[in-house]
């Protein structure tokens, strides 16, 4: 279970984000952060695999590296101050809709949908929306979805294919280049509690209809 030690590690990492400090505290990272995070992912995957058999069962394959890619970044600090995981059919780097979890020193970030779309996939999604507009509106205005996430997020295009312009009269979501929703809530109330797993699954359930809808674009 995630405890206050998890928070302490990441607060200290934020103040000492360098390789020397990290290597000196590697044991703390493994015991206080990585191990409880992976245990949480394992429990989440028990449910997600029931929803979709294509989910990879290994929690290590869902977890993102703590090391940052600084090759083209202005910020050269070597480590993320958050542990993150992605759950999608066929793996976290899949182009299919999935679920996201991130836990930093003080907050839990949970959501899902489609974050990265190449032009061919984006075209399929927009055509699917054009053919099934009312269904998307119903999903994103559902009380459970709104209570958990507020609204659908995503960067929007400035221009749109003329054939899709009539859809804009029903919803501006057709302009989206990403289709995801995120929620954030405090970590502290869940220290040492199995209720954390339940809370995350509750949010995943709220976004599951959106993922099902987006998946149909690739049928």
6: left (phi over 0), alpha (psi -120 to 50) or beta: alpha
Q: What is the pLDDT of residue 90?
A: 80
Q: What is the pLDDT of residue 74?
A: 84
Domains of the chain, earliest start first: 4-218 (3.30.930)
Per-residue tens of pLDDT for the chain, all 219 residues: 999 999 999 999 999 999 999 999 999 999 999 999 999 999 999 999 999 999 998 999 999 999 998 888 788 899 999 999 999 988 877 889 999 999 999 999 999 999 989 999 999 999 999 999 999 999 999 999 999 999 999 999 999 999 999 999 999 999 999 999 999 999 999 999 999 999 999 999 999 999 999 999 998
Are 144 and 208 in contact by the 8 Å Cβ rule? The answer is no
Q: What is the pLDDT of residue 71?
A: 83
Q: What is the pLDDT of residue 20?
A: 97
Angle at 29 between CA 28 and CA 31, to 5 degrees: 65
List Cβ neighbours of 171 (8 Å cut-off, separation of 6 or more).
Answer: 129, 133, 136, 137
Q: What is the pLDDT of residue 8?
A: 98
Structure token digits, residue 123: 């075209």
Q: What is the pLDDT of residue 51?
A: 94
* Residue 72: DSSP 8-state: T
Structure token digits, residue 26: 């590697």
Q: What is the pLDDT of residue 92?
A: 77
Question: How far from 140 is each of 37, 96, 124, CA to CA, in Å?
Answer: 30, 19, 19
**Which one, of 82, 111, 108, lies nearest residue 97 by Cα?**
111
pTM (whole model) above 0.85:
yes
């Amino acid at each position: 279970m995630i405890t206050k030690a998890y928070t302490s590690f990441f607060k200290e990492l934020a103040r000492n984000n360098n390789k020397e400090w990290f290597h000196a505290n590697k044991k703390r990272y493994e015991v206080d952060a990585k191990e409880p995070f992976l245990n949480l992912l394992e429990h989440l995957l028990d449910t997600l695999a029931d929803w979709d058999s294509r989910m990879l069962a290994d929690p290590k394959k869902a977890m993102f590296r703590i090391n940052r890619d600084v090759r083209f970044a202005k910020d050269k600090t070597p480590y993320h101050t958050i542990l993150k995981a992605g759950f999608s059919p066929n793996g976290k780097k899949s182009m299919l809709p999935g679920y996201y979890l991130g836990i930093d020193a003080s907050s839990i970030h949970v959501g899902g949908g489609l974050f990265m779309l190449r032009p061919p996939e984006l075209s399929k999604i927009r055509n699917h929306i054009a053919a099934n507009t009312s269904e998307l509106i119903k999903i994103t205005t559902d009380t459970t979805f709104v209570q958990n996430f507020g609204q659908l997020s995503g960067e929007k295009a400035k221009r749109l294919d003329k054939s899709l312009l009539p859809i804009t009269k029903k919803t501006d979501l057709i302009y989206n280049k990403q289709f995801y929703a995120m929620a954030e809530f405090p970590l502290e109330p869940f220290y040492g509690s199995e209720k954390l797993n339940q809370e995350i699954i509750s949010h995943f359930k709220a976004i599951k209809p959106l993922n099902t809808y987006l998946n149909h674009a690739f049928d």
